[in-house]
Amino acid sequence: MASIVSAKDAVAKISDRAVVASVGVIGWITPDAVLKALADRFVQTGSPRDLTFYFPCGTGDAQGIKGMDHVAKEGLMKRIVAGSYINPVDPVTGRRPELMRLIRENRVEAYSWPIGASMHWLREVARKSPGYLTKIGLGTYADPAHGGGKFTPRATDDLIRKIELDGQEMLYYPTWPIDVAVVRASSADEFGNLSWEDEALVSANIGLILAAKASGGRVIAQVRRLLPSDGRLASQTSVPGYFVDELVVEPDMMMTSETPFDPAYYSGKRLPLAELPRPVMSADKVIARRAAQEVRKRELSIFGFGASADIPLVMAENGLFDGSGARDYWFTTEHGSYGGVVMSGWQFSANVNPDAIMDGLYQFDAIDGGLCKFAALAFAQFDESGVVNVSKFGAANPGAGGFIDIAHNAERLVFTGTFTTGGLQTSFEGGKLNILQEGKISKFARQAESITYRVIDGVRERGQQARIVTERAVFDVTASGLRLAEVAPGIDVRRDVLDRMDYAPAEIAEPLPRMDQSHFIDTVGKQLVKENVDA
C-alpha cells in the first residue's frame, strides 16, 4: 500500500547522485509540487547533490509551471538528459529559463535525445534490456558522428553509440537504472492504484513507473484527489498500486499554464467549435492558412509547435469543421491526443474534444511505424544541403522533441515558419503582404548549426514529399535542392526573397505563381474557404 505523504516528505529520501526521472509536456501532467519540493530541500539543506535528471520531453514551461526549471540548480543537477528543452522569455521577468543559462554557461552535463528514443528507451530499462536500437536519427545531431546528442562541453560520456548489426548502421542507447520516478496522475485510491481520467495526456508516465520499479527504484505519484478503492472499474485503473510508493495529493494543481482545469481536453465535455480561439492576423496566421491547403481529409496528420499548430484553428475559422466536418480530418500530436482540434500556444500538445488519448510510448510506435502520413512542423533553419534545424541555433537549445521521428517517418512534410527572424514586422493591406521591418537573421542559412533532419535524403532515398511554407514564399524540396514555387502578393522576388537567402534556390518556377490573396485578408467568410483535397 502506498504511503500518503507531503511533497516535502516524498523527496526526503532522495540521496546524492541518484537518477531522478519525471515527465510533463510543457505544463500538462507536470508533477510540479514534487519537483519544487526537491529544489526547496536542496536550497535549504544543500542536499541531495549531483543528481542525474531524465526527462523524456520538456517538463514544465519555466513560467507558471516551472517543472524541470525548478531543479535547474548547480550542485543539485549534475547531468540532465532530455527529449526537449523549454526556452521562452518570461513575460514578467524578461528572463530565459534558468536551465538554459546552465546549459549556455556549461554548468551542467546536458544531453538531448529525440523524444522517440527517450520514450522507447524506458521500455528497454523496464525489461532489463542492454539498450535501445534504432535507425532513426542516423546522420542527425544524435549520431555520434555529429555530436551524439551532447549539448555542453561537460557532457563527455557516449550515451549514444553507433554500431553495425547485420550489415546496417544503428544508433544504440545503452540502458542505466532509474532510482526515483516522479509522475502525475488524476487520482489514486488508498492502495496507490493510479488513473488519468481527467488529464489531457498520459505521455511516458507508465513507462517511467515500470522502468523505475525494474531498477529497484521508488515511484512518487502526485495526484489531484484520492478515491475509495471500490469507487471505479478496474478497467479505469492504468497502473496498479503495487508499483507506487508514495502519493502526494495536490487538489489545486493546474491542468496546464493558463488553464486551471477544462474537461474539454479529455472530452469530459465538448467545446462548441465556434468557441475556439481565432489566431490573430499575423505572419504566422498567413503561414497556417497556406499550409492548411496541404492537409487532406481522412489522412492521419500530426502537427508540431508554432505556426503549424495554428493550422487546425484556421481551418476551423474558415468553416471546414462546420457540421460534422471535423470528423473528416484526423489530427494528432506527438503526445498521443487523437481527434478533435489541435491547440496552439501553452495549450499545444493536447486536443480539444479528443476521441482517444494514447500512452506516449505507443504513440511513438505509431509514429515510427509510419501511421502519421502527413506532418506539419516548424523550422529554424533550412540550409543549402537540404538539412532542417530546430534543435540548436543561436542561444537556443530546445533539442529535437519528436521532430526527428515524425519527419523521418511521414510521407508528406510541410515545414512552417517566417522567412527571417529577429525583429520581423509585417502588415497586410488589400490582400498583400508588407514587410515593415526585416528580420535580422535569414532562416535559409548556408549551413545549419545543428542537423535535426536531412530532408533531402528523405526526398531522394525514400520518396518523401516536402514543402516549406513562409509568409512570403513557398518552396518545394526536390532531389536537386529547393524550388521556389510561390511568392506572396506585394513581395519583390529579388529584394525580399532571393537576396534574403544565403544561397540560391536550385530552381524557380516559371511562371512564378502568387500565393492566394485570401491568406492576407483579415476577414473570414465562406468565400475564403477552399475545399481540401481528399486523401
Q: State how far the Cα of 155 lies from the Cα of 401, in Å rounded to an integer.
A: 19
Burial pattern 269-294, b for ≥16 Cβ within 10 A else e, equals: eebebeebeebeebbbbbbbbbbbbb
Query: Do 37 and 161 touch, CB atoms closer than 8 A?
Result: no
| DSSP at 411 | S
| DSSP at 353 | S
Calculate the CA 328 to chain-centre distance. 25
Distances 444 to 357, 366, 390, 441 between C-alpha atoms, Å: 37, 32, 13, 9
With 0-12 CB in 10 A as exposed, 13-18 as middle and 19+ as buried, what is 7?
Answer: buried
Phi, psi of 105 (to 5 degrees): -95, 10
Q: State how far the Cα of 299 lies from the Cα of 414, in Å rounded to an integer.
A: 14
Helix (H) or strand (E) holding 35: helix 32-45
- Choosing from 109, 199, 334, 384, which is the catalytic residue? 334
Query: Do 360 and 119 touch, CB atoms closer than 8 A?
Result: yes
Q: Give the residue from 376, 381, 465, 455 showing the smallest Cα distance to 418.
A: 381
| Helix, strand or coil, per DSSP, at residue 493 | helix
Q: The dihedral of CA 15, 20, 26, 32: what is its sign?
A: negative
Q: State how far the Cα of 353 lies from the Cα of 264, in Å rounded to an integer.
A: 6
507 labelled catalytic: no
| DSSP at 107 | -
Positions marked catalytic: 334
